């Protein structure tokens, strides 16, 4: 590496990032209403998973395998 610094920020929810910023990074081909190459990386899809409770923090006392 050339010694460049990398900053990582962790967010609790994708809503903290925002649709425009997320989609510009994850699927720039979808800008201006185009079709994403991978629809599973779009803000709309990931936010729907969070909003429905399909993904998110595990309930207290739950086990992970």
Model pLDDT for residues 7-49, shown as the tens digit of each residue: 999 999 999 999 999 999 999 998 778 899 999 999 999 999 9
Taking the C-alpha atoms of residue 56 and residue 11, their distance in angstroms, rounded to an integer, is: 12
How far out from the chain centre does Cα 17 lie?
8
| pLDDT number for residue 23 | 93
Domain boundaries, the chain: 15-52
Cβ(41)–Cβ(23) under 8 Å?
no
pTM, entire model: 0.74
Taking the C-alpha atoms of residue 57 and residue 11, their distance in angstroms, rounded to an integer, is: 12
Taking the C-alpha atoms of residue 26 and residue 39, their distance in angstroms, rounded to an integer, is: 10
């Amino acid at each position: 590496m050339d010694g460049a610094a990398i900053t990582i920020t962790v967010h609790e929810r994708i809503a903290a990032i925002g649709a425009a910023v997320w989609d510009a990074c994850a699927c720039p081909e979808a800008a201006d209403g185009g079709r994403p190459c991978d629809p599973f990386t779009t803000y709309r899809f990931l936010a729907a998973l969070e909003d429905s409770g399909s993904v998110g923090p595990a309930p207290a006392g739950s086990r992970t395998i």
